[in-house]
Every structure is written in structure tokens, then in C-alpha cells.
Amino acid sequence: MKDAVREACALLRAGEIVAMPTETVYGLGADAFNPDAVAKVFAAKERPSFDPLIVHIASRGDLKQVAVVPAELAETVDKLTSAFWPGPLTLILPKHPDVPDLVTSGLATVAVRQSAHPVFRAINKELGRPIAAPSANRFGRISPTAASAVMKELGGRIPLVVDAGACSEGVESTIISIEPREGKKPVFRLHRAGPVTKEQLQAFGKVEKVKEAAGGLPHAPGQLPSHYAPVTPLVLLEKPSDFRPIEGRSYALLSYRGEDDGPYVNLHDWEVVEALSPGSGKLAEAAIRLFHVMRVLDESGVDEIIAEPVSETGLGVAIMDRLRRAAAKS
Ligand code: AMP
Ligand code: MG
């Protein structure tokens, strides 16, 4: 792996882009201070320039290179970063002028986190510069949680994929912005649900969801209603009784536990059934497997994927968010 880290850093220094694992999903990284390199990320992903990237730093001390933390947020930022970094919590903070506008889509704020993945951390540290890295998939498609999935998405478009096995979280980082309150704990605006849950954040402040704007417009750039989408239509079936199969059409079930006697499994003579957490029904396992299972079903050749809901607590909030966006029509 040392050689791979060295090769990745050599490419990044030369202004190239490299796919590499984070604990959430595989990312497509570029030197965050090199706008030409960042432009290659947008081009390879076919990502619209209004969708800003997350900047990854090697240590908490590097935060000042990319963000200007206002005095009234300093204590909260300190508490959150001590508790959750390195890890899957992204903070939206006022941007440092050195961060190119392309990275933040011209916003005055920057999204920043420190990855906990040992390989990503090694690359970040050896490079000695922040890395701008969105998920290593084509825009709007299923995020990759293994190097093979990156190859399917971006093979031929990028010079290197660093393969370090499957990701340990499986869904993208939790994103929050912070609003200080005089004499009270701050308010955290939840821009994207992720592995750091509302329950965990509540120890440090009040968590409020950012409202989706009317007309399906994103509340934050990039949080589009349709995202993480397979090519095969996916329907999130909130109640089994809502299922109306059409004669001659083939259906796959994306099940939570996949038990033989489950109401969703028994509902239909499914062409394929894939379970997120076979038998045991653990949300953490379901999150890790979500994008992999979506990809398997997408490639299974059925006409439609029917997804069973999971309970919307803890990590289930992030899973349901991804399923809803996968099911939304673009
Ligand atoms: P990813 O594709 O995982 O890199 O996700 C990046 C997402 O972070 C974007 O799609 C935005 O929703 C969000 N984001 C990044 N920067 C900002 C920002 N400055 N303000 C609000 N949201 C942001
Ligand atoms: Mg993404």
C-alpha cells in the first residue's frame, strides 16, 4: 500500500485526479488548491459546477488552511471535531480565500471533514495539502463502495484507483452547518443525513432538518431530489399493500432482512431478492451494503426494483434518504 500512496501523491502533485477509499464511499480526489485539477473532477464525473465538493484535511490543525472559524463558533467546532474527527461528519464553515471558487461553487462557505480511512489519511498526510473529493461515480448515479464499482463508473476516465477493499460506513458523510445561539446550545442544520446520527449530534446542540425548498429545488447545492439512482426504475414501497405488479413485468426486491416469512418477501414471486442485512436486520450492515445491493439489482436485468423501507431511526434516516432520492424521478 505504501507504493500506492506514493503513486497517488505523485499524480495529485502533478494536478491529476485519483480515486481512493474513504470510510464512507470511494472518493475522486484532487489537490483542493489546484483549480485545474479540481476541474478534472467535475469533468470526469460530469458533475455540474453548481454542486460544491467536500474538502478533506489531514489533521484538525489544517482546518485553518481552508476555513475561517468565527469566534462564536470556535467552541462548538472544537467540541464536534474532537468528538467526530477523524470521521464521517462534514462541517459547513466560512471559506478561506485560498480555496478556489470552483471547489465551493462560488459559495462563501466550504464543506470540510477529516477522513478516518487509513489509506485516505496516509495520502492526505503525505501530500501535505487538502484534498477535494466527491464520490467517485458519474453524477447522480450510485455511489461506489468498492474499487470495482469505481472502475464501472469511471474506468478509462481516471489514471488510478487505489483499491483498499470495501468501505466501512457505506453511506456518505453527515453534513451540518452551525448556528450559534446566545446563552444556549447551537442549532445544527442537517444538510445530509449520514453515519453520524441526529441522536449523536444532540449531545452538542439542537438538530433541525434543512427544509426542502418548494418545487423540488435543492436546499443546498447538490442535494437534488433525484440522486444515487440506478438505471433501472426503483420504487420505495412504503406499505406492502401499495404494490400493484403489472403482468409481464419483472421485479426485484431490495429487502431489509430478506427473511422468508417477511411481508415484503412473501408479497410476490420476485425475480431476485437481495437483503441489506440478511437475517439479522442491523442498520449498520444495511448502510454498508446499500449501494452494493442497489448496483447488483440494477445489473440483474429486471424491469423494476421494489425497495422495502427501513425504520427511520439512527442510521435508518440516512438509508431512507438515499432510497427516496434513488426512487425520485429526475
Ligand atoms: P459529495 O458528492 O459527497 O462530495 O457531496 C458534496 C455535497 O456537499 C454537495 O452535493 C452539497 O450538497 C454539500 N456541500 C458541499 N459544500 C457545501 C456548502 N458550502 N454549502 C452547502 N452544502 C455543501
Ligand atoms: Mg456524491
Hey, which of 175, 179, 212, 226 would you mutate to test ligand 1's pocket, going by the most ligand atoms within 8 Å of its Cβ?
A: 175
Q: Going by CA atoms, what residue is nearest to atom 11 of ligand 1?
A: 222
CA distances to 71, 93, 111, 114, 242 from 192, rounded to whole Å, are 25, 15, 12, 17, 28
Instruction: Check residue 187 and give its pLDDT.
Output: 97
- Closest-approaching ligand to the CA atom of 106: 1
Whole-number percent of the chain with pLDDT over 70: 96
Helix (H, G, I), strand (E, B) or coil at 174: strand
- Closest-approaching ligand to the CA atom of 101: 1
Hey, which of 191, 212, 321 would you mutate to test ligand 1's pocket, going by the most ligand atoms within 8 Å of its Cβ?
A: 191
Among left, alpha and beta (phi > 0; psi -120 to 50; other), residue 248 is left
Pick the CATH number of 2-209 from 3.90.870.10, 3.40.50.620, 3.60.15.10, 3.90.700.10: 3.90.870.10
Give the tens place of pLDDT for each residue, 100-113.
Answer: 999 999 999 999 99
Whole-number percent of the chain with pLDDT over 90: 88
Burial of 10 (0-12, 13-18, 19+ CB in 10 A): middle
- Closest-approaching ligand to the CA atom of 93: 1
Atom index in ligand 1 nearest the CA of residue 110 equals 19
Please give the average per-residue pLDDT across 200-217, as a whole number: 81
Q: Confidence band (pLDDT; 50, 70, 90) for 219?
A: low
Hey, which of 174, 192, 325 would you mutate to test ligand 1's pocket, going by the most ligand atoms within 8 Å of its Cβ?
A: 192
Q: How far is the CA of 138 from the centre of ligand 1 (A)?
A: 16
Q: Going by CA atoms, what residue is nearest to atom 1 of ligand 1?
A: 134
CA distances to 147, 152, 157, 200 from 292, rounded to whole Å, are 11, 12, 21, 26
Measured in residues, the chain has a length of: 330
Q: Is the pLDDT of residue 216 over 70?
A: no
Domain ranges of the chain: 2-209, 234-328
| Higher pLDDT, residue 2 or 308 | 308
Q: Going by CA atoms, what residue is nearest to atom 2 of ligand 1?
A: 134
Please give the average per-residue pLDDT across 160-188, as a whole number: 96
Q: How far is the CA of 221 from the centre of ligand 1 (A)?
A: 7
Q: How far is the CA of 315 from the centre of ligand 2 (A)?
A: 18
Within 8 A by CB and 6+ apart from 324, the residues are: 236
Q: Confidence band (pLDDT; 50, 70, 90) for 330?
A: low
Instruction: Check residue 329 and give its pLDDT.
Output: 73
What's the gap between Cα 258 and its chain centre?
25
Q: Kindly state the helix (H) or strand (E) to which residue 131 belongs, with its residue range.
A: strand 131-132
Give the tens place of pLDDT for each residue, 259-295.
Answer: 888 899 999 999 999 999 998 999 999 999 999 999 9
Bridge partners (DSSP) listed for residue 234: 305
Bridge partners (DSSP) listed for residue 209: 190
* β-pair type (26-31, 131-132): antiparallel
Q: CB within 6 Å of ligand 1 — which residues?
A: 51-54, 92, 104, 107, 109-111, 134-135, 172, 175, 191, 220-223
Instruction: Check residue 227 and give its pLDDT.
Output: 79
Among left, alpha and beta (phi > 0; psi -120 to 50; other), residue 70 is beta
**Minimum mean pLDDT range among 193-202, 203-212, 238-247, 276-285:** 203-212
Bridge partners (DSSP) listed for residue 67: 95
CB 304 within 8 A of CB 251: yes
| Distance of alpha carbon 134 from alpha carbon 128, whole angstroms | 19
Residue that has been written with the C-alpha cell 474499487 in this structure = 147
Atom index in ligand 1 nearest the CA of residue 222 equals 10
Q: Going by CA atoms, what residue is nearest to atom 12 of ligand 1?
A: 222
Instruction: Check residue 218 and give its pLDDT.
Output: 53
Q: Which CATH class is domain 234-328?
A: alpha beta
Q: Residue 107's closest CA among 49, 188, 57?
A: 49
Say whether 234-328 and 2-209 share the same fold. Answer: no
Q: Is the pLDDT of residue 85 over 90?
A: yes
CA distances to 174, 223, 314 from 187, rounded to whole Å, are 15, 20, 19
